[in-house]
Structure formats: C-alpha cells, structure tokens
Amino acid sequence: MLSYYLQLAWRSLRRYKTLTVLMVLAIAVGIGTSMTTLTVLHVLSGDPIPAKSGKLFRVRINTFPDDRFQPTDKTPDNLTRRDATALLGDARGDHQAVMSAGSGVLITPQGEPMRAQARYTTADFFPMFNVPMRYGRAWNGQADTAHARVAVISSQLNDLLFGDQSGVGKTLQFGDASLRIVGVLGSWDMNPRFYDLSNGEYGDSEQVFVPLSTALDLHLGTSGTMNCWGNAKDAHDLDAPCIWLQYWVELDSPAKVAAYQRYLHNYMALQQQAGRFRHPAQVRLQNVMQWLDYKGVVPADVRMQVWLAFGFLMICLLNTVGLLLAKFLRRGGEIGVRRALGASRRDVFMQYLIESLVIGMVGGLLGLVLAYAGVALVRQQPTEYAAFVHMDLGILLMTLLLALVASLVAGLLPAWRAMQIQPARALKAY
Amino acid sequence: MQIQPILAALRRHRLATLLITLQIALACAVLSNASFLISQRISRMHAPSGVDNAQLAEVSVEGFAPDQASNVNARMLAMLRGTAGVSSAALINAVPFGDPAANAGIKLDPSEQGTHGVMHFYVGGPGAFQALGLKVVEGRAPQAGDYQPVADFTPKQAPVVITRALATSLWPQGHPLGKSIWIGSRRFRVIGVVKGLIRPAPFTSSNRPAQGSIFVPGQPGPQLVGRYLIRVATGQMDSVLERVRKAVRQMGPQVVLDEAQTASVESLHSSYFQTDRSMVALLLGVVAALLLVTALGMVGLASFWVSQRTRQIGVRRALGATQGAILRYFQTENLLIVSAGIALGVVMAFALNVLLMQYYEVPRLPLGYLPVGALALWLLGQLAVLSPALRASRVPPVVATRSV
C-alpha cells in the first residue's frame, strides 16, 4: 500500500510542479535557517569539559568591607589573595587551584619580540582540568611552595621555539624571568574558556603556564579584572584589599559539595568574627554549566536569532499548510471517486499524509544542505566563536527529525480535511 | 465594489483563509520587530563619536618595567611626533571604540545612595584634548596647570570636561560649570562642556550612556603610560601606522607593540560593530526570505482559488461583469485578507516586542514601525495577487457554457 501511495504522491506532485517546488522550498528555507541558528546555539551552549563539568566548581565569596557591600549586588567573581591563599591552604576539595591571567614578552628564534598569553596557577590546575601533556609533566605542589622557576608551555609555543624537538629542560626567557621548562601541553582547547571568562570567552589556550607563587615573586605582568578598595602599595600583595584571583575546586560527590558549602560558610563566619565585615555572608558555589549560564556566555544575539528562525519556520509551515489544504480540497472529485470505489477514510488520510511527508522529507534534505551552507557562512563571520561552529551527528539527526515533525504537522490538517469530504457531494459537483 | 460576495466566498474557505491570515499576521509581527532591530543597530553604527574617526589613531606599547614609564613616554612621544604625517601626539588611557580604561559609577554628592550611572573617564596628557579635536560649547578646555599626577586610574581630584549629553542628564536645569562629580572620595569639578565624545565601548548597557564620557587632564607617569593618541593627515593613516610599527620594533625588546590596540579609530569602530553588522545582514536576509515566502504563499493560494472558480468567473463574465470587475474582485479579496492579517499582526507585534524586552535589552517598539510593516504587506499582497487575478480576468465568458 505504501508504495502505491508514494506513487500517487509522486504523480500528484509532478502534476503541480510549481506548487510542489514552492512548498519544498518553503520548508527547506525554514528548516535551513532554524538549524543553522540552532547549531550555533548548540555549539555555544555546549559543555566544554563533559567528563567533569558537574564536579568542578567556581568558588565565590563576598569579602567586601561593609561600606562597599550592597545586598543587591552580585557576589564578585574573584577572590582576594588572602582568601585564596587561606582556602588553598585548607585544601578541603579533591583538587583546588587559584589562578590569574597574565602576559609577557618572548623573543622568537627570529629575534622578534612577541607577546605571549600566560596563566599563573597552582599545581592542581593540570589534573583538575584534564590537561594532557605531550612532553614532560606539570609541576607539583612542592614547586608551588618552593616558588620554583619553572614553566609549562603550549605545544604551539614549543614548536615555534624548538621546532619538533621537546623543550623540556630548556630555558624559557619570559620577560625578565628565566624559567626552566618542565612540561609541554598536548592539544588542549577549552571553548568556551570557562575557567577564566574575563580575557575573551573563546580562543586558543594560554601559551605559558607558571606557578602563581613564582609569578608573584618575579612580578610578572597580570591581566584581567582587578577590583580594589582602599590603598595598596601593590595590588598583588598578600594583604592588598583587591579581588583578582579566580578559584576553582573539584568536588567528586554531592556529599562533598554540601560539606564544602558548610566549610565556606564557616570560613565567612570566622571572617565576620575577626571583624573584617559584618554584612551577611554571600557564598556561591557553581559548577561549570551553572557558571557559564550565570556569566551569560551565549551571546544574546544568538538566542534572538534562534527565536527569529523558528518564527520564520512557523510562517513557512503555515504557508505549506495553506497550500496543501487548497490543493487537497481541489481534488475533492478525485477523493470522492476513491471513496465511492471503496477506499476507507483512513486510506484517504494515509494517502494525503504520505504526500505531505514526501514534501517534508525532500524539503528537510534540502534544508540540511542549506543548514550546511548556513554554518559555512557563520564560520566566515569574524566573531570569536566562528571557528568552533560545526555540524555534528546530533544536529544532523535533529534536522531530519524536525523535517519529519514539520511535514507531519503541515500535512495533518489538510489530510484530515480531505478525509472528511463526502463522496456523494464531491461526485455530484464533479 | 461589493464586499458581501467576497466575504461569502471566503466563508466557504474558512480554514484556508484563517491560515493565510495567520501567516500574514506572523509575518507582520516579525517584520515590524525585525525592521525595528535593524534600524536600531544601524543608528548605533552611525552614532556620532564626537571626534574625527578617520584622522585619529591609538598606538599602544607594553613589555616595559613600571619604573621605565617616563623614559618610555619620552621616547615614544619623540618618535611619534617625529614621524612624517603625524600632526600631534599625546598620552591617553583609551580612545573611542578601543578598550575601555576607567569606568566608574558617579555621584553628585558623596553621601548619595546609588549612582547616576557608570561613566567612562578619559585620562589624557597635555595635548590629548586638542588632538581629539573636541568642540567646547561651554566653559573652557584644560590648561597647562590642570594636569595632575594620576593615582590608580585618575588623578585624586581634577578639573574635568564633560559631554553636553551628560551635562543635560546630570543637571537638567543647566549651569553645569563649577559643579562636582564624585567617585568615592575623588572629586571632579566641571570646567567645560564639549559637543560630544562617545565612550570607548558604547551601547553595552542602559546605565552606561553612549555619551557618558568625562575627560580628565592627567600628568604622564607610571599610571599614564604606553597608550598614545595620534592625529594623522588625511589619507596617510596606513603609511603612518606602518612607519610607527617599524619604529617601535627598533626601540628594542623592552617595548613591544600591542597590535590589537594600535589602529585608527575608524578601524576600531569597524571591528567594534562587526557583530551588529552581521546581525543586520542576518535580519535583512530573514526579512527578505519572509516576504518571499509570504508572497509565494499568497500567489499559490490565489492561483488555486482562480482555477477552482473558473466556472463561476465564466458565469459572472457571461452575466456582464467586465474584466476589470473580476480583477478588482481578487484584489479586494486579497486586501481584505491582508488587512485582517495586519490587524492581528499588530497585536502580535507588540506581544513579540514585550517578549523581547523581557529577555533582551530591546526598547519598546515605536508605533511608527507598524504602518511600515502594514504598507509593505499590503503592497506585497497586491503584487502577489496581480498575476492570478489577471489570469482570472482573462477567463472567457464561454467557459460558463462548458461543463467543467
């Protein structure tokens, strides 16, 4: 029966070529735009570290003095060095890392000065964020306490400085500092760069990693948000009234999360007792996805585009429903003949539904091609996320599913109406 | 033209009529909101910066130790002023459309609760005000004695020049000269008002007005170093920047050019509005596709109705209806459907706008955009129905005598 209906559909579609092309195009354009925008949204709101995103938590506490505290304000993103050092010393998580972004000048083998992006952090950073190593290994906790003059560099920087040889054991001249290279990163791209969103949300990983203690000793240049109150000789000092350090903790079970929450509240209570501030303790512990959501990493424009595209798909579908309806009802005579010859309502319904499905599937396939073209177009845009936008299997299946659902929705009403045509009246009018 | 028969005919095709009306309503809602968003983005791109974008550029260097500041400033300024094509050079902390340097919430009274919005403080060394080419409309420009050492991000207290838009919003009754602006315990006295000066990153949020700029004279030193404003003769921007790049490379390893922040204000403007430009292109694409699909839908439906009613048309023609009458019948029918769609669409347009306002920073849809969307759809409908209606009008009366 199915092949007969397909044959009938094919005949009917060929009979009204322009109309068929019109309907297929409308569905294709609607699905193409929707899927393009959805792909961008899907990529941008994706999980940068799926294996661990539920276990890594950004720690935020509000240690502003009372005259700086507004209950309605958001809890600041960063910590003072004093608080970060205290939390790190207690080491209540499975792993924890303090970090700051920075940059410094390198001299390339060609003798050209070049600015390199750096991350000053503590040893746990590497196991916490699943950072793969190509050569050597990351520094350990002892290197942090010893303020060791060591560095880990990116694969790309290694190739630039040392060609295809390993740079481990060689010396890296970073600004005025001479650092011994202990490790070279494997390929590691976190996009969005969730661990520090203040220096560009998308992009390559840093080229140089240095222990935070060492970077502070050597006064290496930091970058990122520095929010100070009161006067400090150097904003990087241990007791400077400045918030600028990012703090991440890994907690492997819900029980540990609850325990860590209690620990942070206790810590804040101790600070209140010590007279640092009297305002209510604000403690925020967010995992990777909550943190990305809180920071609004997906641009508002992208969300708006998705809405717009689906509105457009709606219009295309309405258009198709209207055209199908007109087309099916025009064939009232034909339907009357079929019914009079013994076809049940169900048969008529199926026949017309299959005709709609054929249109929907052809439109969906064409829409998939358009979505590929759309994604290629998005990649040409000079936005910082452009390079990461790509189609994956999930999106591909979703496109086909959307086409199927769309054509079913579009075909249901016209087929229903066609089925209800009274054979006697239709034949009389014929 | 009687509309009674048209309504009667439409009543027989209630479902199809309802569908096309809904489609037009949705199209109207999306069209008005999209054209509003497009015009909003375009007007942002064309917002006056208050300075001559094509003749100004910033040059940024880094990599030097803080105690080298005076040395670096002296060498850089000497180099820039000595570069052919540069008519003036001065220290500045930020330029329009570049990286912001000092945003702060301001108060008119230190004891005030809350702020009057977050403004950008442009801190400029001697000559920066003149190099920017700002037009003083009230008061005076900073003078030699006004330049004080910068502590953290601004001088501790200083005479400042503000924009006219900011002056009007802070003191609606006028007389801004001599009034004070506070950040914490820092006091800034207004000595002049300029016509306009856009902040480095305008249009980011509603409490950061685009013209919320405050010019603060500051002394070059450890806190005002490394970023320079140059004024370049017309048409020489590219060659001047190339010469500057080369000269900085020769200044040795202690001074490194910050490529991203070395550019003309014009090119900074262009990259700042890049995403807006792609959004406008996308919206235009959607609007075009939307109009096309809607038009094709109307063509398709009208063609069907024409061929379905061929016999009735023949009867009407045989009974004496002119070709014009048949043409007008289908045109009026389309006008009725589109009008109904627009009526519904206006309501939907506002609903959509309210929805957008809730989730995105979108202002209220001005009423002026509704007639634009309505007119476009009316025209589109008439154009779409023209060819089927003409076909209908050419149906010969003899059709009436044939049986199908």
Q: Are residues A70 and A7 in the same domain?
A: no
Q: In whole angstroms, give the CA distance from residue B80 to residue B247.
A: 9
Residue A270 and residue A306 in one domain: no
Residue A50 lies in a domain: no
Examine the domain organization and report whether B289 and B356 are in the same domain. Answer: yes
Instruction: Select from A315, A317, A329 the residue whose CB has the most chain B CBs within 10 Å, as the one to mutate to test that interface.
Output: A315
pLDDT by residue (tens digit) across B132-149? 999 999 999 999 999 999
Mean pLDDT of B338-363: 88
Residues of A in contact with B373 (CB under 8 A): none
Indicate whether this model's pTM tops 0.90: no
Q: Are residues A123 and A30 in the same domain?
A: no
Q: Per the CB < 8 Å rule, is B26 touching A301?
A: no
- Is the pLDDT confidence value at A42 over 80? yes
- Residue of chain A nearest B296, judged by CA positions: A22
Gap between the Cα atoms of A392 and A376, Å rounded:
13
Residue A26 and residue A156 in one domain: no
Number of separate domains in chain B: 2
Question: How confident is residue A208, by pLDDT bands cut at 50, 70 and 90?
Answer: very high
**Longest alpha-carbon distance in chain B:** 103
C-alpha distance from B277 to closest chain A C-alpha (Å): 10
In a domain, B55, yes or no: no
State what percent of residues in chain B have pLDDT above 70: 99
What does the pLDDT read at residue B302? 87
Are A260 and A378 within one domain? Answer: no
Chain A residues closer than 8 Å to B300 by CB: 19, 22, 322-323, 326
Does one domain contain both B283 and B142? Answer: no
Picking from A250, A276, A294, the residue at the C-terminal end of a domain is A294
Task: Check whether residue B87 and residue B170 sit in a common domain.
Answer: yes
> Residues B298-309: pLDDT tens digits?
888 888 888 888
* Spatial distance between the Cα atoms of A94 and B130, rounded to a whole number of angstroms: 58
- Say which residue, A390 or B381, is predicted with more confidence: B381
Contact criterion met (CB < 8 Å) for A221 and B296: no
Cross-chain residue pair A322–B274, CB shorter than 8 Å? no
Q: Do B360 and A29 touch (CB under 8 A)?
A: no
The DSSP line for A266-304 is: HHHHHHHHTTS--SPP-EEEEEHHHHHHHTT-S-HHHHH
pLDDT at A304: 83
Task: Give the residue numbers spanning the domain of B113.
Answer: 64-254
Distance CA B358, CA A284 (A): 26
Closest of A206, A201, A205 to residue A44, by C-alpha: A201
Q: Which of A294, A313, A343 is the last residue of a domain?
A: A294
Domains held by chain A: number: 2
CA distance, residue A330 to nearest chain B CA (Å): 7
For residue B220, the model assigns a pLDDT of: 92
Chain A residues near residue B307 by CB distance under 8 angstroms: 330
Number of A–B residue contacts, CB under 8 Å: 117
With bands split at pLDDT 50, 70 and 90, how would you rate the model's confidence at B123? very high
pLDDT at position A215: 94
Dist. CA B318–CA B133, nearest whole Å: 78
Shortest CA distance from B403: residue in chain A: A430
Same-domain pairing of A209 and A330 = no
Tell me the mean pLDDT in the region B190-196. Answer: 95
pLDDT tens-digit series, residues A4-27: 888 888 888 888 887 888 888 888
pLDDT at B385 over 90: yes
Question: Which of A263, A294, A325 is the last residue in one of the domains?
Answer: A294
Answer yes or no: do B102 and B195 share one domain. yes
Selecting from B34, B63, B274 the residue whose C-beta is nearest the C-beta of A105 gives B63
Same domain, A263 and A328: no
**Where residue B346 falls among pLDDT bands split at 50, 70, 90?**
very high
Note whether A307 and A289 are same-domain residues: no
Q: Which domain holds residue A72?
A: 56-294
Q: Are B326 and B316 in contact (CB under 8 A)?
A: yes
> Would you say residue A430 has pLDDT above 80?
no
Tell me, what's the pLDDT at A188? Answer: 86
Query: Quick check: A118 pLDDT over 90?
Result: yes
* Whether residue A73 is found in the same domain as residue A176: yes
Residues B237 and B96 in one domain: yes
Q: Is residue B92 part of a domain?
A: yes
Identity of the residue in A301, A308, A323 whose CB atom sits nearest the CB atom of B297:
A323
HEC sequence for B59-108: EEEECCCHHHHHHHHHHHHHHHHHCCCEEEEEEECCCCCCCCCCEEECEC
Query: What's the confidence (pLDDT) of residue A429?
Result: 59
- In the predicted model, is pLDDT for residue A283 greater than 90? yes
Instruction: Answer whether residue B51 shows pLDDT above 90.
Output: yes
CB contact under 8 A, B286 and A330: no
* Same-domain status, A173 and A199: yes
Show residues of chain A in contact with B258, CB under 8 Å.
115
Query: What is the distance between the terminal CA atoms of chain B, rounded to a whole angstrom?
Result: 28
Answer whether B279 sits within 8 Å of A301, measured CB to CB: yes
Is the Cβ pair B297, A319 closer than 8 Å? yes
The answer to whether residue A51 is domain-embedded is: no
Q: Is the residue at B338 inside a domain?
A: yes
Q: Are residue B240 and residue B322 in the same domain, yes or no?
A: no
For residue B271, what are the contacts with CB-CB under 8 A and spacing of at least 6? Answer: A382, B97
pLDDT of residue B357: 85
**Beta carbons of B297 and A29 less than 8 Å apart:** no
* Angstroms from B308 CA to nearest CA on chain A: 7
Residues from chain B that touch A316, judged by Cβ atoms under 8 A, are 293
Pair of tokens at residue B401: 């005598």
pLDDT at B190 exceeding the cut of 60 = yes
Per-residue model confidence (pLDDT) at position B1? 62
* Residues A411, A324 contacting (CB under 8 angstroms): yes
Residues of B whose CB is below 8 A from A106: none
pLDDT digits (tens, 9 = 90+) for A60-113: 999 988 877 877 778 899 999 999 999 999 999 999 999 999 988 888 888 777
Could B282 and A22 be called an inter-chain contact, meaning their C-beta atoms sit closer than 8 Å?
Answer: no
Which domain-ending residue is among B254, B284, B304?
Answer: B254
Residue of A nearest to B279 (CA): A301
Strands (E) across A162-272 are located at 171-174, 177-185, 208-211, 222-223, 227-228, 242-250
pLDDT of residue A281: 87
The minimum CA-CA distance between A235 and chain B, rounded to whole Å, is 10
d(CA A261, CA A281): 12
Write out pLDDT tens, residues A120-165: 999 999 999 999 999 999 999 999 999 999 999 999 999 999 988 9
Q: How confident is the model at residue A189 (pLDDT cuts 50, 70, 90)?
A: confident
**B26·A22 Cβ contact <8 A:** no
Same domain, A241 and A308: no
Task: Determine, yes or no, domain membership for B169.
Answer: yes
Closest chain B residue to A417 measured between Cα atoms? B15
Q: What are phi and psi of A251, to 5 degrees?
A: -130, 115
Supply the pLDDT for residue A340. 87
Q: Measured between CA atoms, how close is A399 to chain B, in angstroms?
A: 19
Categorize the per-residue pLDDT at A213 as very low, low, confident or very high, splitting at 50, 70 and 90: very high
Contact call for A383 and B359, based on CB within 8 A: no
A152, A100: one domain:
yes
The answer to whether residue B253 scores a pLDDT higher than 80 is no
Chain B nearest-CA distance from A15, in A, is 13
